[in-house]
A and B are shown apart, each in its own frame.
Chain A
Amino acid sequence: MESTFEYFLEQLINGVTLGSVYGLIAIGYTMVYGIIGMINFAHGEIFMIGSFIALITFMILGIVGITWVPLAILIVLIVAMLLTSVYGWTLERIAYRPLRNSPRLAALITAIGMSIFLQNYVQLLQGARNKPMQPIIRGGIELMRQGDYVVSLSYLQMFIILLTIVLMAVFSLIIAKTSLGRQQRACEQDQKMASLLGVDVDRTISLTFVMGSALASVAGVIFLINYGVIDFYIGFLAGVKAFTAAVLGGIGSLPGAMLGGMLIGLIEAFWSGYFTVEYKDVAAFSILVLVLIFRPTGLLGKPDVEKV
């Protein structure tokens, strides 16, 4: 059974679903690194906050009586993106901007501090217990059948994959075509030159945090709907995996983050599926090490050009 195509397909679906979550979070890491050269370790916590905001919004919608699922999810997505963006913006404004011109290490330590702060903040505010939610999207379509073994793609998985693709396309377009995207790319290349040419660097960086946080909150919403259990600690593990994905894909590269996320998700699913579940993290990280040995800048990362 394990050697059949049906089984392969099932694990592929599992891997892509998981990879979507990693990829959406990884984009936040990669965008921030691209523009200010800093690893925002508190980004996993932003994802976790997005998830909590989504849960609270779902509960409020339940009380208000909006139970039509597509509308509820749309409202939750919008609310989560807006409120989480505020968190991301505030984070940058109070924790990182004052340190803009200090050594990189200072910003890095601050990021770790903010990560711990946000974790404890949610723990105190929301309690330490698991917050469960019952599935709201059920059912799916049957893709293949072999005897008793049915490969199905649930509506939820379809929704997750489609949403990820749409968001990826939209954000790639923003970076490539809009004036905001041009400003971001300019700041990425040379902040001083960009500011001399009239680009508001601080504003651009703030908007980068807002965009990254919005995507992380979408990942949070997906995580909540798909797995149905969240706690104040989920940001840590997801953050580590997403950071790995960003490095694997080439930190600083937007398509790289998505590719890295997908790869980590797929490696985990296939390794669990064909070898032992116990060593799936070992497998994922070994592949990261191998890639970095042969391509130090990651799969799609551009090598650093020495600025003269």
Chain B
Amino acid sequence: MFNLKTTVAAVALMALAGGVAKAEIKIATVGPITGQYASFGEQLKRGAEMAVKDINAAGGVLGEKVKLIVGDDACDPKQAVAVANKLVAEGVVFVAGHFCSGSSIPASKVYEEEGVLMISPASTNPKLTEEGGDNVFRVCGRDDQQGIVAGNYLADYWGGKKIAILHDKTAYGKGLADETLAQLKKRGIEPAMYEAYTAGEKDYSALISKMKAAGIDVMYIGGYHTEAGLMIRQARQQGYNVQLVSGDALVTDEYWKITGKAGEGTLMTFSPDPRKNPEAAPVVAEFKAVGYEPEGYTLYTYGAIQAWAEAAKAAGSLDLDKMIASLRSNKFKTVLGEIGFDEKGDVTAPGYLWYEWKDGTYDYAPVKVNTSR
């Protein structure tokens, strides 16, 4: 009798919990909210919050309100899996994340097993979609595109000079550096130096002295803004005029806060700046009204959530298979322009352009973009 009672109570409780959960759709964004890449976590969080606010103001998705959960993986692969499991347990149906490739790849396996849709706004390592399940999409480019642009630039502009290629041993950093190296070698150029450094350290003076002594003219860094910023700062402190070239992990104003004047002239590859899209103008204005500059991956996160909401509208359901089919077959009007996804889950739109840091902000650089393989 007692057993029956408990069972009834448990069923009733579950039904109640289910009833509450039905009232809203839970989605999440996950990025480094803490840790040394926290400035990127803020971009993701800001972008996601604004997107959810705007979607709810326009009536939600399929007539239901959207609730955003912000997860923190600190760009640590172990923590990323833990957060992914937690989100799955909370009943999240869609994740706009993660930021670091090293986190996104292991987390995507969890989402695949549990049937959760994932659109990464920022993880560029090719493996994410190449080896990932059908549930994995991304709105940013891939490092094999980015590496070709970077490798060609180094060959075109610095062909006769000494080139150093550095990476931070992470999935993103090493992946990007190796793609760049491969393209450079394809162009028949051997770099003068190839080194790996440890992320999270602050002293790179020995490495800088080494490059200075080897007469390196240009250094290509596959890594994040904190380390790249410290390196260029320490290079200038040693009176060493090396050109820094890097990838999309420098698109945060924190880079300039670290380097100050030393960051002047740093080149980086990044997808087209969505702030310049006419479609994005009202959203950009909305961000600026609350005193936030939607730099870097902010609008990419906004766009990922927009694409998800549009896909749900087109599919008329949140069922995973229908959502995957909808994402692959439709075109979506987002702040990133009109985007679609291919079979692998990569965004069909734009590749990479060159940017230059100047006076505390980045803008298109007067450098030829060469995408020939």
Chain A: residues with CB nearer than 8 A to chain B? 1-2, 4, 7, 10-11, 14-15, 17-18, 123, 127-130, 132, 134-135, 148-150, 152, 154, 156, 223, 227-229, 231, 233-234, 237, 268-270, 272-273, 276-278, 280-281
Contact = CB atoms under 8 A, between A and B. Distances in A.
Given A234-B202, A273-B209, A277-B206, A228 B233 contact: yes
Q: Which 7 pairs, one residue from A and one from B, show the smallest C-beta to C-beta distance?
A: A272-B206, A128-B34, A278-B196, A227-B202, A14-B205, A269-B206, A132-B257
A277 B202 contact: no
Contacts of B233: 135, 228
B197 interface: yes
B107 to A, nearest CB: 20
B207 A272 contact: yes
Interface string B200-232: 111101110110111100000000001001100
A2 B210 contact: yes
Given A135-B237, A229-B230, A277-B196, 14 more contacts: A1-B214, A14-B206, A14-B209, A18-B205, A128-B38, A130-B254, A130-B258, A229-B202, A233-B36, A269-B205, A272-B206, A272-B207, A273-B209, A276-B195
A160 to B, nearest CB: 12
B38 A130 contact: yes
A17 B206 CA distance: 11
Interface in B35-60: 35-36, 38-39, 42
Interface residues of B, number: 36
B198 interface: yes
Centre residue among A15, A229, A237, A270 by max chain B CB count within 10 A: A229
Given A223-B202, A273-B210, A228 B258 contact: yes
Contacts of B260: 134-135
Contacts of A223: 202
B226 A229 contact: yes
B200 to A, nearest CB: 6
20 contacts: A1-B215, A10-B209, A11-B206, A14-B203, A18-B205, A129-B42, A129-B254, A130-B36, A134-B260, A135-B260, A152-B239, A227-B202, A229-B226, A229-B230, A237-B200, A237-B201, A273-B206, A277-B195, A277-B196, A278-B197
Contacts of A127: 38
B235 to A, nearest CB: 13
B311 interface: no
Contacts of A152: 238-239
Nearest to B261: A134
A268 B260 CA distance: 27
B26 interface: no
B96 interface: no
A298 B64 CA distance: 67
A233 B200 contact: yes
A277 B38 CA distance: 26
Interface centre among B201, B209, B257, by most A CB within 10 Å?
Answer: B209
B202 A278 contact: no
B33 interface: yes
B322 interface: no
Given A1-B215, A132-B257, A132-B258, A150 B239 contact: yes
Contacts of B238: 10, 152
Contacts of A129: 38-39, 42, 254
A17 B34 contact: no
Interface in B252-305: 254, 257-258, 260
B203 A227 contact: yes
B178 to A, nearest CB: 14
Nearest to B32: A128
A18 B212 CA distance: 19
Contacts of A128: 33-35, 38
B341 to A, nearest CB: 33
Contacts of B36: 130, 231, 233
A182 B198 CA distance: 43
Contacts of A15: 206
B313 interface: no
B169 interface: yes
A294 B239 CA distance: 42
B198 A281 contact: yes
A278 B193 CA distance: 13
Nearest to A234: B202
The residue in B33, B169, B201 that gathers the most chain A C-beta atoms within 10 A of its C-beta is: B201
B232 to A, nearest CB: 12
Nearest to A21: B203
A127 B41 CA distance: 13
Contacts of A123: 34
Contact of B207 (A4, A17, A277): A277
Contacts of A228: 230, 233, 258
A58 to B, nearest CB: 15
Given A223-B202, A233-B35, A1 B213 contact: yes
A252 B201 CA distance: 27
Contacts of B196: 276-278
Interface string B347-371: 0000000000000000000000000
B39 A130 contact: yes
Contacts of A281: 198
B169 A278 contact: yes
A223, A228, A268: residue with the most chain B Cβ atoms closer than 10 Å: A228
Contacts of A227: 202-203, 230
